[in-house]
Amino acid sequence: MTFPLSSPGNGSAIKKGLRRVSALSYVVAVLLIILGFLAILLPFETSLGVVIILAWLMIFSAVVQIFDAFRGGGFWHVIWKIVLGLAYFVTGLYLRFNLALGLAALTLALIAFFAVQGVTDIVVYFRTREIGGSSWVLLHGVITIVLAMMIWRHWPTGALWVIGTLVGIQMIVTGTTRLMLAAALRRATNLIPESA
The pLDDT confidence band at residue 162, using thresholds 50, 70 and 90, is confident
CB 175 within 8 A of CB 33: yes
The predicted-structure confidence for 69-101, as pLDDT tens digits, reads as follows: 888 778 888 888 899 999 999 999 999 999 888
What is the CA angle 194-195-196, rounded to 5? 110
C-alpha 93/C-alpha 55 separation (Å) is 7
Burial class (CB in 10 A: 0-12, 13-18, 19+), 46: buried
Torsion sign across C-alpha atoms 169, 172, 173, 174: positive
pLDDT of residue 41: 95
CB 93 within 8 A of CB 55: yes
pLDDT of residue 2: 44
Question: Residue 81 is inside which H or E element, if any?
Answer: helix 75-97
The pLDDT confidence band at residue 7, using thresholds 50, 70 and 90, is low
The predicted-structure confidence for 88-135, as pLDDT tens digits, reads as follows: 999 999 999 998 888 998 899 989 988 998 899 899 889 888 877 778
The pLDDT confidence band at residue 15, using thresholds 50, 70 and 90, is low
The pLDDT confidence band at residue 194, using thresholds 50, 70 and 90, is low
CB 32 within 8 A of CB 174: yes
Rounded to an integer, the average pLDDT of 144-165 is: 87
What is the CA angle 173-116-62, rounded to 5? 80
The pLDDT confidence band at residue 3, using thresholds 50, 70 and 90, is very low
Domain ranges of the chain: 4-189
The predicted-structure confidence for 22-57, as pLDDT tens digits, reads as follows: 778 888 989 999 999 999 999 999 999 999 999 999
- Report which DSSP code applies to 190: T
